[in-house]
Amino acid sequence: MAISRRGVLVGAAVGGGLLVAWGLRPRTFPTPLSPGRGEQVFGAWLKVARDGVVTVAVPQTEMGQGVTTILPQIIAIELGADWRQIAVEPAPVSGAYANIPLAAKWAALWTPTFADLADEPGDMLAERYAQITRFSATADGTSLAAYEMACRNAAASARTVFIEEAAERWGIGVEECDTAAGFVIAGDRRLSFGELADGAAQRDAPDIPVLRPGVIAEQPLPGSELAEPEYPRLDLPSKVDGTHLFAADVRLPDMVYAAIKHGPLDRAELTEFDIGPAEANPRVVNVVKGKRWLAAVATDWWTADKVVEAMQPRFSVEGIAESYRGQEALNDAARSGAGFRIAVRGDGVSIDDPDFARRYHVAPALHAALETASATARYADGRLEIWIASQAPERARRAAAQAIGLSLEDVILYPMPAGGSFDRRLEHDHAVEIALIAREVSLERPRPVQLVWSRWQEHLAGIPRTPAVGLLWADFKDGSSGQLSALHSRIAAPPSALEFGQRLFENKTRWAAREAVSGKADPLTVEGAMPPYGIPSVVVEHVPTDIGISTARMRGNAHGYTAFFTESFIDEAAAMFGREPLSYRIEMLGDDVRLVTCLQAAARLAEWDGGRDQSGQGLACHRMGSKETGGRIACIATARLDTGGVRVSKLSAAVDIGRIVNLDIARQQIEGGLIFGLSMALGASTEYARGLPTTQGLRDLNLPRLAECPEIEVEFVPSSAEPFDPGELGAAVCAPAVANALFSATGLRFRNLPLFSEGF
* Nearest CA-CA partner of 108 in 423, 504, 464, 391: 504
Helix (H) or strand (E) holding 221: none
Asked if residue 523 lies in contact with residue 490, where contact means CB atoms within 8 angstroms, the answer is no
Q: Does 596 map to a domain?
A: yes
* 628 CB neighbour count, 10 Å cutoff: 7
| Alpha helix positions (H), 257-410 | 276-279, 301-310, 323-336, 393-403
* Nearest CA-CA partner of 291 in 450, 509, 74, 601: 509
What size, in residues, is the chain?
Answer: 760
User: Which residue type does 105 have?
Assistant: K
Asked if residue 30 lies in contact with residue 94, where contact means CB atoms within 8 angstroms, the answer is yes
Domain hosting residue 308, numbered range: 247-318+368-461
Question: Alpha-carbon distance 343 to 488, whole Å?
Answer: 10
* Nearest CA-CA partner of 467 in 315, 607, 362: 362
* Nearest CA-CA partner of 656 in 589, 574, 583: 589
Question: Alpha-carbon distance 195 to 723, whole Å?
Answer: 36
Q: Does 331 map to a domain?
A: no
Helix (H) or strand (E) holding 637: strand 631-642
| Alpha helix positions (H), 541-700 | 559-576, 581-587, 593-606, 663-682
Question: Alpha-carbon distance 185 to 649, whole Å?
Answer: 53
- Pick from 461, 485, 512: which residue ends a domain? 461
> Is the same domain home to 283 and 412?
yes
pLDDT at 31: 83
Rg (CA), the chain: 27
pLDDT at 352: 87
Asked if residue 733 lies in contact with residue 585, where contact means CB atoms within 8 angstroms, the answer is no
Helix (H) or strand (E) holding 152: helix 143-170
User: Residue 113 contacts by C-beta under 8 Å, 6 or more apart in sequence?
Assistant: none
* 54 CB neighbour count, 10 Å cutoff: 27
Helix (H, G, I), strand (E, B) or coil at 190: strand
Q: Does 184 map to a domain?
A: yes
Provide the domain count of the chain: 3
The string over 224-262, giving b where at least 16 C-beta atoms fall within 10 Å of a residue's C-beta and e elsewhere, is eeeeebebebbbeeeeeeeeeebbbbbebeeebbbbbbb
> Is the same domain home to 574 and 704?
yes
Question: Alpha-carbon distance 594 to 588, whole Å?
Answer: 13
* Nearest CA-CA partner of 640 in 708, 564, 730, 718: 708
Task: Classify strands 484-493 and 178-180 as parallel, antiparallel or unpaired.
Answer: unpaired
pLDDT at 28: 62
pLDDT at 14: 35
pLDDT at 22: 34
Say which CATH number the domain at 379 has.
Answer: 3.30.365.10
User: Which residue type does 569 have?
Assistant: F
Q: Does 323 map to a domain?
A: no
> Is the same domain home to 623 and 703?
yes
* Nearest CA-CA partner of 3 in 413, 397, 372, 426: 413
By CB neighbour count within 10 A (0-12 exposed, 13-18 middle, 19+ buried), where does 314 fall?
A: middle
Q: What's 555's DSSP letter? A: T
> Is the same domain home to 587 and 439?
no
Q: Does 106 map to a domain?
A: no
- Pick from 461, 494, 516: which residue ends a domain? 461
Intervals of the chain under pLDDT 70: 1-28, 758-760
Question: Alpha-carbon distance 663 to 224, whole Å?
Answer: 8
> Is the same domain home to 590 and 700?
yes
* Nearest CA-CA partner of 154 in 11, 278, 33, 16: 33
Q: Does 726 map to a domain?
A: yes
Asked if residue 231 lies in contact with residue 83, where contact means CB atoms within 8 angstroms, the answer is yes
Q: What's 661's DSSP letter? A: S
> Is the same domain home to 476 and 457?
no
> Is the same domain home to 341 and 309?
no
* 561 CB neighbour count, 10 Å cutoff: 32
- Pick from 461, 484, 516: which residue ends a domain? 461
Q: For 666, phi and psi rounded to 5 degrees? A: -60, -40
> Is the same domain home to 164 and 301?
no
Q: Does 708 map to a domain?
A: yes
Question: Alpha-carbon distance 395 to 724, whole Å?
Answer: 26
> Is the same domain home to 594 and 544?
yes
> Is the same domain home to 360 and 376?
no
> Is the same domain home to 69 and 81?
yes
> Is the same domain home to 645 and 572?
yes
Asked if residue 111 lies in contact with residue 158, where contact means CB atoms within 8 angstroms, the answer is no
Question: Alpha-carbon distance 367 to 350, whole Å?
Answer: 37
Q: Does 224 map to a domain?
A: no
By CB neighbour count within 10 A (0-12 exposed, 13-18 middle, 19+ buried), where does 590 fall?
A: exposed
